[in-house]
Amino acid sequence: MLRNRLAVVAVVVAVLLGQGPAAFAVGAPRLLINQDFPDPDIVKTDNGFFAFSTSTGSGKIPVATSHAPEGPWRITGDALASPPKWAKPDGGFWAPDVTSLPSGKFVLYFAAAVATSGQMCLGAATASQAGGPYQPTGDQPLVCLTSDDGDIDPQTFLDSDGSRYLLYKSDGAATGPPAAIWLQKLGADGLSLVGDRTELLRADLTAEKNVVEAPSVVKTPSRYLLFYSADTFQSTGYHTCYATAPTLTGPFVKADAQFLSTDLLGGKVDAPGGADVVDGHLYFHGWLNGGRSARGLYELPITFPGDVPQLG
């Protein structure tokens, strides 16, 4: 009886501290890639699973493969055949996202620095296979707004009606507005923009430190869940949150508590972020070995009872 009462008290204290009872149910995250593999994007295909990351020593856009979502995972090469004409060839290629089109073609989205200005913008490349090689398309970026002071972290979402969308982060000028996450409809080819973009949310909480990034959308029976990372990625305070809305265009309401953080995971992962939900699994990165030189790929099971995400 005393043990049960103490457990209840612990849950109440956690809720009052802005954490949540889910922290007590999370098991140990599984480390899938024990080397630098930041900003992961996972793709399920008929030929297995593919994962893509920001530039590392393994390539411009490293690609890893596995026959099962839990692994074993193996980095197999570089998915990007060559840098696009508009980008700095050695400026790095960030936060890739891969989606498949009805034609069977695959499109890879990424952020890169413009050669003439250094501003981060979004580009695209295509391939006939999920693992690549991807050939860049066009002589100009797909998204590149000077007023955004940098556009990064592309992520696609295919809605139930077949409409395709691109989500991404605008950095916001250092003396202007904080970072924001945007939604832009795509054409059927995945390479053209349709209509105006919509702002989904902005960094307006103290704990976010003016940063919201790495968007990823999951649709449940009655809601849209937008996962995102917040705070600066070098900080142990870097964490993952989510917001919900009745429609994809919002309005999105942020959850009262953080969803993934160093503390909520009991220190098992340092600065968990870059979340991607695929086939009942939540993939994310975290700093390895207590340092700030490499981020490994981690996984936890995830479900959505009552349209609410639950780990473990």
- Is residue 130 within 8 Å of 106, Cβ to Cβ? yes
Whether this prediction's pTM lies above 0.85 is answered by: yes
Residue 14 lies in a domain: no
In tens digits, the chain (312 residues) has pLDDT values of 433 343 333 433 333 333 333 333 467 999 999 999 999 999 999 999 999 999 999 999 999 999 999 999 999 999 999 999 999 999 999 999 999 999 999 999 999 999 999 999 999 999 999 999 999 999 999 999 999 999 999 999 999 999 999 999 999 865 567 999 999 999 999 999 999 999 999 999 999 999 999 999 999 999 999 999 999 999 999 999 999 999 999 999 999 999 999 999 999 999 999 999 999 999 999 999 999 999 999 999 999 999 999 998
Q: HEC string of the chain?
A: CHHHHHHHHHHHHHHHCCCCHHHHCCCCCEEEECCCCCCCEEEEECCEEEEECCCECCECCEEEEECCCCCCCEEEEECECCCCCCECCCCCEEEEEEEECCCCCEEEEEEEEECCCCCEEEEEEEECCCCCCEEECCCCCCECCHHHCCEEEEEEEECCCCCEEEEEEECCCCCCCCCEEEEEEECCCCCCEEEEEEEEEECCCHHHCCCEEEEEEEECCCCEEEEEEECCCCCCCCEEEEEEECCCCCCCEECCCCCECCCCCCCCCEEEEEEEEECCEEEEEEECCCCCCCEEEEEEEEECHHHCCEEC
- Tokens 């795509």 correspond to 186
**Residue 173's pLDDT is what?**
62
**Residue 98's pLDDT is what?**
98
**Residue 1's pLDDT is what?**
40
Q: How far apart are CA 255 and CA 92, in angstroms?
A: 33
**Residue 26's pLDDT is what?**
64
Residue 18 lies in a domain: no
Residue 24 lies in a domain: no
Residue 90 lies in a domain: yes
The phi, psi pair for 307, rounded to 5°, reads 65, 20
Give the CATH number of the domain where residue 238 resides.
2.115.10.20
Per residue in 26-52, pLDDT (tens digit) is 679 999 999 999 999 999 999 999 999
Q: How far apart are CA 125 and CA 137, in angstroms?
A: 5
Residue 22: partners with Cβ closer than 8 Å, 6 or more residues away: 259, 264, 310, 311, 312
Q: How far apart are CA 210 and CA 11, in angstroms?
A: 29
**Residue 174's pLDDT is what?**
59
Residue 6 lies in a domain: no
Residue 107 lies in a domain: yes
Residue 33 lies in a domain: no
- Is residue 110 within 8 Å of 96, Cβ to Cβ? yes
Residue 307 lies in a domain: yes
Retrieve residue 63's tokens: 């690609």
Amino acid identity at 57 = G
Q: Using alpha carbons, select from 309, 262, 306, 301 the residue that is nearest to residue 285.
A: 262
Per residue in 261-285, pLDDT (tens digit) is 999 999 999 999 999 999 999 999 9
As for how many domains the chain has, the answer is 1
- Provide the β-strand partners of residue 186: 164, 193
Owning domain of residue 105:
39-311
How far, in Å, are 65, 87, 198, 269 from residue 228 at the CA level?
Answer: 25, 26, 16, 17
**Residue 312's pLDDT is what?**
85
**Residue 86's pLDDT is what?**
98
**Residue 175's pLDDT is what?**
59
- Provide the β-strand partners of residue 261: none
**Residue 11's pLDDT is what?**
36
